[in-house]
Homo-oligomer: A and B are copies of this chain.
Amino acid sequence: MTTDRAYALFEARQRERGIDLEQVMQKLSALQIETPSWGYGDSGTRFKVFRQAGVPRNPFEKLEDAAVVHRLTGICPSVAIHIPWDKVDDYAKLKAHAEGLGLRIGAVNPNLFQDDDYKFGSVTNVDARIRRKAVDHLLECAAIAKEVGSNVLSLWFADGTNYPGQGDFRQRRRWLHEALAELYQALGPDMRMLIEYKFFEPAFYHTDLADWGMAYTAAIKLGPKAQVLVDTGHHAQGTNVEHIVAVLLDEGKLGGFHFNSRKYADDDLIVGAHNPYELFLIFYQIVAAMAADDPAVRACAEHIAYMIDQSHCIEPKIPAMIRSVQNVQTQYAKALLINLEEVKDFQQRNDVLGAEEAVRRAFETDVTPLLIAWREARGLPADPMQAYKQSGYAEKILARGVGGASW
């Protein structure tokens, strides 16, 4: 069997390199990637939403699709929900449905951008009534989180302006901080709020939380339960995202990720499909932080919430999600193969080429044998995508028809 030979060879190579494969296997087992309910529905660009047949028609069906992804990959036990897209009358029922499928509800995501009232801002609106409404929605989401057993609120504000003069930057900032402070008080003892930032879109002049620094200054005013969420597609071109990741880890303020890939703007494509090396380098920082001297840095690295946030405009949704999860797992596995001591030695001697190669070599390693071995040891299919194709699920859901959930 080439698979066995491949793993034997892989194992020999990594032992030669001083890599402890048992520890790698353990760390692989600790990785959990949350998939988003909305990733199973229809989405598109401002020009067109192409509807796909078989898309789930309600939150329950979304969870069913997410369960398939978890069953095949073994690392997606939780599902993020979005309110009101996933609003239901009975959240206990939704929670039970998830549990029945072997899942739990993950981050709760408020929606503060699709109500007509929010045309000129939600928590930053000049109208106190609308700000109140927005904060009430945040509080509602905190309550829902408690009901569904979630301990994470994932906060993205679309608030911003399109033209110079349209809004008062500082006043809006203070309103935003006030809203967050009120929400913070409503967090349960084990809950966290993750504050997302975004370079631009849907606002095209200024976005109230435009970069990690703006999310960070909000988070430190609140306390330890407030952290920053990094969406890999929310930066200016050229930004060194892994550097930001390292800084946030150093500050104990990295709360989670929204994974996706991009070439241009917030393209929300399959994570790892464009510039996969960047994803690897992000995990290099995380893996290094897991081995940091400072226990606060280690603790931060261990509690990162990894979440997919993509818009599958032209791809079939479930396979796109499986591919995304596999890409994350692949780059994480590669990062685990970096010999950190070796890198450190090169760094100490300013051996630039040596250090660079020590990192890149891990990236260039084919981790397929490792991942197959890990999956087989857990009774998971060696090739989740292939298993999906053979499962007949894609055909089965066609009965749902065209025109399911979308945003």
Contacts and interface: CB of A to CB of B under 8 A. Distances in A.
Interface of A: 2, 5-6, 9, 12-13, 16, 43-48, 50-51, 113-114, 116, 119-120, 126, 158, 161-170, 173-174, 199-202, 204-206, 210-214, 216-217, 235-240, 242-243, 246-247, 249-251, 262-265, 267, 269-270, 273-278, 281, 284-285, 288-289, 292, 297, 311, 313-316, 319-320, 323, 330, 343-344, 346-348, 350, 352-353, 355-360, 363-366, 368, 385, 407
A165 B343 contact: yes
Counting every copy of the chain, the complex holds: 4
A199 B355 contact: no
A224 B147 CA distance: 44
A158 B45 CA distance: 11
Nearest to A158: B47
Nearest to A316: B353
23 contacts: A46-B202, A47-B114, A48-B113, A119-B314, A120-B352, A164-B277, A169-B246, A170-B249, A204-B269, A206-B243, A210-B243, A213-B214, A235-B236, A237-B237, A264-B265, A273-B356, A274-B277, A275-B275, A275-B277, A275-B278, A353-B385, A365-B366, A366-B366
B47 A45 contact: no
A51 B115 CA distance: 11
Contact of A277 (B167, B200, B277): B277
Contacts of A347: 126, 165-168
Query: Which one of A46, A206, A235 has the greatest number of beta carbons of chain B within 10 Å?
Result: A46
Nearest to A275: B275
Contact of A170 (B214, B237, B292): B292
Query: Which one of A204, A212, A273 has the greatest number of beta carbons of chain B within 10 Å?
Result: A204
A43 B46 CA distance: 9
B9 A247 contact: no
Nearest to A364: B366
B164 A356 contact: yes
Given A165-B358, A170-B292, A275-B278, A204 B267 contact: yes
Contacts of A13: 2
Contacts of A352: 120, 161-163, 166, 314-315
A315 B217 contact: no
Given A237-B238, A265-B265, A353 B113 contact: no
Contact of A200 (B199, B238, B364): B238
Contact of A9 (B2, B170, B276): B2
A170 B50 contact: no
Contacts of A360: 164-165, 273, 276
A119 B50 contact: yes
A302 to B, nearest CB: 16
A299 to B, nearest CB: 14
A226 to B, nearest CB: 15
A350 B202 contact: no
Nearest to A16: B2
B247 A263 contact: no
A358 B216 CA distance: 32
Contacts of A316: 353
Given A9-B9, A316-B353, 7 more contacts: A163-B352, A170-B247, A170-B250, A200-B267, A211-B213, A213-B247, A364-B368
Contacts of A385: 353, 357
B240 A237 contact: no
Contact of A212 (B213, B269, B407): B213
A288 B9 CA distance: 32
Contacts of A158: 47
